[in-house]
Amino acid sequence: MRTFLLRNEDVEREWFVVDATDQTLGKLAARVARVLMGKDDPRWTPSTDSGNFVVVVNAEKVHVTGKKRTDKVYRYYTGYVGGLVEHTFAELQARKPERIIELAVRRMLPKTRQGRAQFKRLRVYAGPEHQHQAQQPKPLAIA
């Protein structure tokens, strides 16, 4: 029995669309990360980037459980002295709802060159419209 290894030239990428309306953030991000990595494909090979494209719509309607809406804090550092910036989930959802899903998915992907390439295949939109109708994306169910 020989081990099958998928080659880069044999990768066939598909487009999927996910509606984030009333979805839990963590479950949504975990499912999207798996599709971006290509782990749902039976031909998945660790050394080959065989992931698909994912379009997430209605990012503004994603929800979290418990008190995360007020207690979850997103931090980043500007590089200046005293430049720590903090936003709660509610603030970030009001200002940039796409950023919440992007951060959740990025942190679930590998921290390698391959992970950065996989993240580039994610498209997130706050509203229901997106500009990828020409790719004929298939709906992706989140269990």
Position 133 scores a pLDDT of 96
Q: Are 24 and 38 in contact (CB under 8 A)?
A: no
**pLDDT confidence bin for 1, thresholds 50/70/90:** confident
- Please write down the HEC assignment for all residues of 25-62: HHHHHHHHHHHHHCCCCCCCCCCCCCCCEEEEECHHHC
pLDDT in tens, 56-113: 999 999 999 999 999 999 999 999 999 999 999 999 999 999 999 999 999 999 999 9
pLDDT in tens, 9-68: 999 999 999 999 999 999 999 999 999 999 999 999 999 999 999 999 999 999 999 999
- In 3-state terms, what secondary structure has residue 63? strand
* Beta bridge partner(s), residue 75: 86
- In 3-state terms, what secondary structure has residue 96? coil
Catalogue all structural domains in the chain, each as residue range(s) with its CATH number. 14-62+96-139 (3.90.1180.10)
Report the alpha-carbon distance of residue 65 to residue 110 in Å, rounded.
26
Report the alpha-carbon distance of residue 99 to residue 103 in Å, rounded.
6
